[in-house]
Amino acid sequence: MKSVSLPENTHPAQIWNSALQLENIPVISTSTLVPPGARAIVIAPHPGDEVVTCGGLLQLLATLGHPLQLISITDGSASHPGSNLWSAKRLSVFRPQESVEALRRLGLPMHSLKWIRGGFTDNALAEREDQLTQFIARYLRPGDVVFSTWREDGDVDHDTVGRASAKAAAMVDAQLYEIPVWAWHWPVREQGQIPWQRARKIRLDTWTVARKSHATHAYASQLDGEPAIGIAPMLPRVILERMRLPYEIVFV
């Protein structure tokens, strides 16, 4: 995850908790998104994005027995620049371990989950978009269903991964769905920039939401910032609150 410096002590009106359009988003079933037997690919720009974007959907797909593949583009080691506590060297080891624990908490079949780690440097993906596109395409097959961050999410790495995933999916004839992350935390006045006509809602039951929330808390390095050097939590309280919503939204 990356921070957009969301305030910890105030809760201004944001799209996720104020936009009236949210109630009217059509519901879509898991089987409509991912046909029986199809392989689902989740592309995460940073460790934690796989849970925040579609931790509920991943649980549903695993229950239905779909083959799953996770592509982690970066190891997230640049999330705390200048930190002595969370140096890039420590994070390069610690954050993948956090992801393992998070996926375990989701109840995913770790013995059969195919997990690709890209090793790209976070905060520098835009300069390597062509290389990133080729990398992603290498692991896709015709008929795959791909979930990536939205290419207009407002975070440079998220946007780059969204564009690269779209191009890679088109190259191999795979289906792409995009998932917004930070866009939900734009001020409500920006709701006109959301492509509501593309939005579909995946319903989650209480236990699925609980496991997703529990998995999010596996990212210990992202829960606390370092105010002394101006680093905000990468997973601020408002994100954790949104994780408790009984649905996830994808752009089709």
Tell me the pLDDT tens digit for each residue of 41-52.
999 999 999 999
Q: Is residue 5 part of a domain?
A: no
What pTM was computed for the model?
Answer: 0.93
Q: Is residue 7 part of a domain?
A: no
d(CA 57, CA 70): 13
- Is-contact 187 13, C-beta < 8 A? yes
Q: Which of 3-7, 26-30, 147-151, 241-245 has the lowest mean pLDDT?
A: 3-7
Q: Which domain holds residue 39?
A: 15-251
SS3 content of the chain, % helix, strand, coil (to 5): 45, 15, 35
Instruction: State the CATH number of the domain containing residue 133.
Output: 3.40.50.10320
11 has pLDDT over 80: no
What's the average model confidence in pLDDT over 160-171?
Answer: 98
Q: Is residue 9 part of a domain?
A: no
Q: Is residue 83 part of a domain?
A: yes
Residues of the chain above pLDDT 70, percent? 96
Q: Is residue 155 part of a domain?
A: yes
Q: Is residue 4 part of a domain?
A: no
pLDDT tier at 10 (50, 70, 90 boundaries)?
low
d(CA 14, CA 191): 9
d(CA 195, CA 250): 11
d(CA 82, CA 103): 29
What's the average model confidence in pLDDT over 218-231?
Answer: 84
Q: Which residue has tokens 């939205």? A: 150
- Is-contact 72 116, C-beta < 8 A? yes
Q: Is residue 1 part of a domain?
A: no
